[in-house]
Structure 1
């Protein structure tokens, strides 16, 4: 049985974001080919509590020391990609809306995220919420 990918693409998780998570878990590093793929894989990592992947894909200059797992009862409802814009070979932005529900209350996160590519690897740098 295949599991749908949390990122919203019409592919099974294993063929979509799961391949980037699996490569990282196997010691092959971060392999998302562009900022959009990295952002989608990060959303899926949040859904699946893949905390090591989230930390590794966060640029060292802005990375928190640790992340907490999802709160009990948190349900991720979906990801809507608004735009992906590559400024040059090493900088890109991705705008998205992520929805979740906790304790009967709906939550919405709208962000324009900035990504940077170093030594051929894309990293999440930071984002503007709103």
Structure 2
């Protein structure tokens, strides 16, 4: 096949549950029906870049939401199949819900969310404690 189809996009989105940064060899293996060239490779890289951007935007959004709701410790943040964050991600990457998201993705999402939470809280503390005269 010369180009990428909507089915390839769906496959790439599902693949994102397993790998946020797939290598070119991995892409060639999973998209073996595609004749790779510079354009195809660029398109796949762009797709994964867009997937990561959405993922990280959601992480920041939900970390800030947790802070606004009074969460004070990253360990209090849990990502489960019934969490709002998971629903948002699943709706984006697995719209038809015809794929069972791997447990490892939930673990990675929880770790990422906690990291964002700590970074936001840390930046807030730094902003509050850093004297303005040093700017």
Measured against the shorter chain, the TM-score band is under 0.3
- The answer to which structure has the higher helix fraction is 2
Q: Whose Rg is larger? A: 2
Please give the TM-score of this superposition, normalised by the length of structure 1.
Answer: 0.22
